[in-house]
Amino acid sequence: MAKIISFDVWDTIIKRKCHPEEIKLYTANYIVLRYENKLKEKYKDIYEILKTRDEIEARMCKKNQEKGKDDECRILDVFKELQKEIFETKIEDISEELLKAEIEQEKRVIYINPEILPIFEKYKDLKMYCISDFYMSGESIKELLDYLKVLVKIEKIYSSADYLLNKKTGNLYKKAEKEIGIKPKDHIHVGDNQYSDIEVAQNLGIETIKTTKTEFEFEPQKGRKLNFDLSCIKKEDQEKKEQIFNSGVDIGAILYFFGYSIVEYAIKNNIKKVYYATREGETFIKIHELIKKNNPFGVEIPECEIIEVSRMATFTASLKEFSIAELLRLWSQYQSQSMKALFKTLAIDINKYQSYMEKYDIDIEEKIDWPWFNMKVQKLCADKEFTDKMNVEIKKKREELLEYFEKKKGITNNEEPMFMVDIGWRGTIQDNLAHIFTNKKIGGYYLTLYDFYNLQPENTYKISYIDEKEIRDNEVASMITILEWIYNPGTGSAVGYKDGKAIRKAKEKETRIVEEYIKPLQKGMFEAAKVINEYMKYHPYQAQETKEYVYDLIRNIKKKPSKELVEAYYNMVFNDTFGTAEYVEKEDKLSTMQKLNIFKCRDKLRNEPWKEAFIIYNDMEYMNIFMKIKSVIRKILRKG
């Protein structure tokens, strides 16, 4: 009759939701997140850290074997050696910190093996022990078992790390039996490894019980596959909102990984708070909040907050004075502009200045090409009485903005740095804020960025997530408005400030369309984000690794957009008051007669940035054949 029963730990009592090497990869990522600026360049890659750690473990195991022990090692010894290798200069010992981080990650990914529960029940009258080949001590293993509230009493844990003896040689079994005072015939062992838990134990005369081993795919190299499944959250209902929701699920990874990269950057650079700029920031911040609530990084996540800003709300306040030199920051982008559009952009009532327009014979409705060269505009800007009044307006706008930032956000023009996030595409709002908060270093993070129109303020820096030129210039540029539109929260734009509060404005039709098309789409994106975030908790990736997945997704969206996404695109009402004083709306579908005119369709298609969406929206699949034939002819002519 057996006197004791012993258990292997991993895949026997405890199971993980990931491959064991991904725990080590997590620790490598932890090192990069916390200490990137102290690492050798090579080791800013988490896979290089993992590879080096495994090499150190192998060397230490070999040395211990040469000393008469088994090929085992202790994790703290490995960490001490690892930090000597990966850091540029010697740093204070962080081996205990790394052990703590790794244990915490183990807690996040482990669960009790259901298969072990009936075995516990069957042998509840026997004294129970653990015998495990593992690089952590018995004390660390006990911490994990206690965390899971294992409902049986474990008398003692025999870990190979404590004795530098293992089950593979049989020596750890012998050590445990000698200390407990039993013979092999009094011993039952439970484990998943066919060799060390079953064959070796049986050869020693120990009775065995085999549990099921869980296998995980894992490639320890950059660019490994992201393997989450979003199909499980899709709706089967064929109603319009459900189908739009499903389209949101399909594109949700763009939103999630953009947010993931923002948080990773903020952690690495010790940014205390990330400010998300309205409007799109109201959608982006939800990913930051998701990550903060259900943390996949395992380190402290920076705070986040919305700032109510827009190009219109910040531009006038950012001007030093009303002058041609200052207005060139605007005119470099809008080289043809009426005075009416200029004043709308400045959020100043032009009616108060009608007499000056008449004085210089300026038709406020007339678009003026290159206004800075126009003699009438030059004379207007040289009129001291007029510019003095305009400078009072500018000063008031600045004071109102500063009051909002100080009262609502606690932000003043001190030297404390500021970090903000916006959709893109030039970072104009950030530039405006940099001209206002001149004492601050202001950083900006964007989905993507294009060439800047103006000289960049010295107190700024900008980063973009989508930084591959081909994707940016081909795919993103073609569908740039939909990539902005899908993040619209429908809350309107900030148009100015008063009494320490932001003034928001939304067009009724814009709000209605957002409610009908964009909100269901965003619900799908957020549900997808939750699934992906859960996956990222157990499978560490650096943000850079996620880009290829996103690039492939963007390519696919451009070439084969869903009908629901196309409908959202063509029902868009886009606020472009800044610079143009207009709202942008897409054209209606082509009539049957128009579609029969292949030349008219071709001309229409030429003016469409997102041609694939135009073809789907107008049910003109035959144009795909036309475009392919045209492409083949061009290739033949080029070869000729």
Query: What's the CA gap between 266 and 135, in Å, rounded?
Result: 33
Query: What's the CA gap between 331 and 579, in Å, rounded?
Result: 8
Residue given tokens 């009775």 in the structure block: 207
Q: Does domain 4-210 have CATH number 3.40.50.1000?
A: yes
Q: What pLDDT does 576 receive?
A: 52
DSSP string, 605-628: HHT-SSHHHHHHHTT-THHHHHHH
505-526: pLDDT as tens digits: 888 888 888 999 999 999 999 9
Residue given tokens 């109510």 in the structure block: 308
Q: What pLDDT does 608 receive?
A: 81
Please state, as a whole number, how many other Cβ atoms lie within 10 Å of the Cβ of residue 405: 22
Residue 504: phi, psi to the nearest 5? -110, 145
- Residues (pLDDT < 50) of the chain are 577-583
Which residue ranges make up each domain of the chain? 4-210, 311-409, 587-639
Residue given tokens 């965390």 in the structure block: 147
Residue given tokens 């004294």 in the structure block: 127
Omega cis (within 30) before 279: yes
Strands 303-307 and 273-277: parallel
Query: What's the CA gap between 575 and 380, in Å, rounded?
Result: 29
Q: What pLDDT does 418 receive?
A: 97
Q: What is the 3-state secondary structure (H, E, C) of 471-511?
A: HHHHHHHHCHHHHHHCCCCCCCEEEEEECCEEEEECCHHHH
Query: What's the CA gap between 272 and 270, in Å, rounded?
Result: 6
Please state, as a whole number, how many other Cβ atoms lie within 10 Å of the Cβ of residue 580: 15
Residue type, 426: R
326: Cβ–Cβ under 8 A, 6 or more apart, which residues? 319, 320
Angle (CA) 462-468-471 rounded to 5° is 120
63-97: pLDDT as tens digits: 999 999 999 999 999 999 999 999 999 999 999 99
271: Cβ–Cβ under 8 A, 6 or more apart, which residues? 265, 302, 417, 419, 443
The contacts found for 402-407 with CB under 8 angstroms, 24 or more apart, are 402/317, 402/436, 403/497, 403/499, 403/500, 404/308, 404/497, 404/500, 404/501, 404/502, 405/307, 406/500, 407/500
CA–CA distance from 26 to each of 36, 95, 182, 540 (Å)?
14, 15, 40, 6
> DSSP 3-state assignment of 167?
coil
Strand partners, 505: 493
Q: What pLDDT does 579 receive?
A: 44
Tokens standing for 76? 């703290």
Q: What pLDDT does 338 receive?
A: 93
> DSSP 3-state assignment of 350?
helix
CB 201 within 8 Å of CB 189: yes
Tokens standing for 120? 């516990």
Share of the chain above pLDDT 90, in %: 78
CA–CA distance from 275 to each of 271, 287, 421, 484, 539 (Å)?
10, 13, 6, 18, 28
DSSP state of 310: -
| Burial grade of 268 (CB within 10 A; 0-12, 13-18, 19 or more) | middle
Radius of gyration of the chain (CA): 32
DSSP state of 352: G
Query: What's the CA gap between 450 and 423, in Å, rounded?
Result: 12
Strand partners, 498: 501
Q: What pLDDT does 571 receive?
A: 84
CB 175 within 8 Å of CB 138: no
Instruction: Judge if pTM exceeds 0.85.
Output: yes
542-597: pLDDT as tens digits: 999 999 999 999 999 999 999 888 888 888 765 554 444 444 556 666 666 666 66
Q: What pLDDT does 572 receive?
A: 78
